[in-house]
Structure 1
Amino acid sequence: MATAKPKVAIVWRGDREARSTATLRNNRFHRIFEELSAIGIDAEPAVYDEAFSDEVRDQLLAADGVLVWVDPLHAGKTRHQLDALLREVAARGPWVSAHPDTILKMGVKEVLHRTKHLGWGTDTHLYRSAASFGEEFPARLRTAGPRVLKQNRGNGGQGVWKVELIGGAEGSERVQVLHAQRGSMPEELALPDFMARCEAYFAAGGCIVDQPFQPRLPDGMIRCYMGSDKVVGFGHQLIKALVPPPPEGPDSEAAQPGPRIMHGAEAEPFQKLRSMMEAEWTPQMMEVLGLDAASLPIIWDADFLYGPHTATGDDTYVLCEINVSSVFAIPDEAPAAIARLVAARLRSDHR
C-alpha cells in the first residue's frame, strides 16, 4: 500500500481572487513548490486574508507543515489575527515556520538590544515607554551624534528614522529626520515634535530601539540568508534608505536602490561573515533567546551594515535587522535548501 505524501501549505497574503486562482506556478514561490515536489512533498498554496481565515485554518490543520510569508504590516493590516491562527494550528499538530513566538524573539528590533553584546552588536539602547524615551534620548542625541530609531515590528522601512541635531539650545533643539521608507525626504522640526510623533510606537506593548548611524551605509547592506542555523546565500545591495535623496528628488533614478546581487553560500567575499554567523553569532543568539535548532525558521535573514574598519583595515559588521516573517527574494540556492530542511523537519516530527 502506497504511503501518502507529506503535505505542506505555503501561506501568503492575498484577496479572495488570489486565493481562488493560486496555483503552484503563478506566484513568486514557484521554485519552492518545485523543489518540494522534487523530493516527494505535496505542497499547496494557502492564500490568507482575515476575511476567510476560518477557511485557511481548516486547510492548515489538514497539512503536516506550514511555511509562512506574511509581512508584519501590509496596507494597514497587521499579523495579529494570523498569528493567533498559527499558534492554534501549531498547538493542534502541524509544525509552523516561522512560529509566531519565534518571530517575537528573533524578528523584532528588540533583538538588536538583547544581543548587543555579541560580535554583531553596537551602542544599542531600548526605550519601553514614552517617559523613558523623553528622559534618555535627547541627552544621547546631544553626545553620541546621529542616531537611528526603529519601531519594534515593521517592514519596508516603516518606523525607522535617522535623527540628527542641527541646532538650538538644550530643551528646544531642532533636528533633521529622514524616514527609511522609499520616497521620503529629509524634514526639519523641533525635537519634542518629532518625539511626540514616535509615541505611537509604544502602543500595544511596543518599544523603540536606538542605534548609532553607520557612516559606511553607502557601502551597502549585506543580507545573510539562513536556512535554520546554516548560511544558504548572501545578497549585497547599495541601499538608499536613510541616505538623503539627490537634488533630482526621491523619485529620480539616482535615488533608487541598486539591484540586490545574490551570491551562494560559498561566495569568497563573505566567508568571514559566514564563519561568524554559523560558528559564533547564531549559536550565541539561540542561547540568549532560548531557542533550539528546531525552533529556528526554515528561512530567515540577518541584515548587516559595514562597521568601522579594524586597525588592520579589515571590515566589521553591525546587525541592523533580522527578518523572519517574510524573507523574499532569496538566492537561487535557497529553494532547494528550504525543501531539504522541510523534509528533515517532517522526518523528525514523525519519528
Structure 2
Amino acid sequence: MDLSYILNELGEDRELYYCAVAPPILQTSNFACRTVDEMREMLRNEAEAYLYTRGNNPTVTMLEKKLAALEGAEHAIAFGSGIAAVSAAVLSQVNAGDHIVCVDKPYGWTNTLMNRFLPRFGVEVTMVDGTDPENYRQAIRPNTKLLYMESPNSFTFELQDIAAIAALAKEQGCSTIIDNSFASPLFQNPIQFGVDLVVHSCTKYIGGHSDTMGGIVCGSRERINKIFEREYMTLGAVLSPHDAWLLLRGLRTLPVRMEHVAETTRKVVAWLEKQDKIAKIFYPFSPSHPQYELARRQMRNNTGQFTIALKTDDIRKIDRFCDSLQHFLMAASWGGHESLIYPAAAYHTPDGKYKSKLAVNLVRFYIGLEEADYLIQDIEQALRMI
C-alpha cells in the first residue's frame, strides 16, 4: 500500500462529512440505534460497531486504520498512552501461572509492569540480555507464554535480532510483542519479521508536536479483537477523539519530520564522535557500534535518539554540562519538534545516593527539527563548561 495513500486518504470517507479536507472530531460518547434489532447486532459485534466511544469512534478508527497499514498489520487498537498499549498487549497474552521472557532495561514503566505489577498476579518474568537470541532460548520454561522485545531498547539502545527471536517463539509455541516506538512504523516493521503484536507510544514520533498522548497495538484482527473484548473494554484506557485527531494531524508530516530528524542526527553524532570529552556514543547507526549490521538489516534509517557517556563521573561537572545547554530542553519524552536531553544524573538524590542501573555519566539526546549547526554550537559551548 502506498505511503502517500495511507497518510492522506486511507479511512477518510470525505463524502460523509461535506468533503472537508480535515476529518471531523466526532466528540460524542454515544451512538444511537434506530431499532432494537440494530442494537442487538451492535452488542453482538461491538468490536466492529459504533455503539459507545469507550469502544469505537470514527475519528479513532481513521487513526487505527492508518497505523495498522503503516505496520503491515491487519488491525490496530488505540489507547490513551503508550504504556496503556504495552500493558493491554502483555496482559492479553498471559494468565496467572504463566512466564514471560523480557529484554533487560526496557522503558521504565514497562520494567515496572514486568517486575512489580505482574508478579502480584502470579505471572513470573525473566529479564535477559537481548543482544543474543540464545539468552531468550535459555530462559524459556514449559510455562513461558510470551517473549517481549524493545528494539532498540531505552537509553543505551541495544538491539534484538527480531527475526531470530520471532522464529524461536513460534518454535516454542510462544507469542511475541515488541515496542517499536524508537524506530517508528516508517523505519522498522517487526510484523515482517514474524512478530505477533507491535506497540507504539504515539506520544513520540507519530504525534510529533509534544501536545498529545496515545498508544497503539497492531496485529492480526483475531488478536486485536481479543484485546478489545477483554483488556480494552474492561480497563478503559481509551484514546479520546480529539487526541486521535491530533495524531492524525501528526501523521501527515511524519515522513518529512523523520527524514529531517535522521539527517540532523547523523551530522550531530558525526561531530560528537570527534570530541575528546565524550567517552562513548550509544548510537546503533554508527559503523563502530557492535550491532551496526543488525541495525541496517532491521531498520531502514536512523532516528533521533542517541546517548553519550561524558568522560567524567563527577556529578557537578555532569550537572554543569546539562544545565549549560541552551537549546535542548530537559524532559522525559522525545519525538516532538524540540530537541531534548535526559541525564542519568537526575537519579542522583540530594543525600548522595544513586537510584539507577545506568552509569551516572550517561546523557540521552533526542534531536528535533532544529538545524544541525545550531545544536552543535550549543553542545560545544556546554562541553567547555566541564
Q: TM-score, normalised by structure 1?
A: 0.31
| Structure richer in strand, relative to its length | 1
Q: TM-score, normalised by structure 2?
A: 0.29
| Structure richer in helix, relative to its length | 2
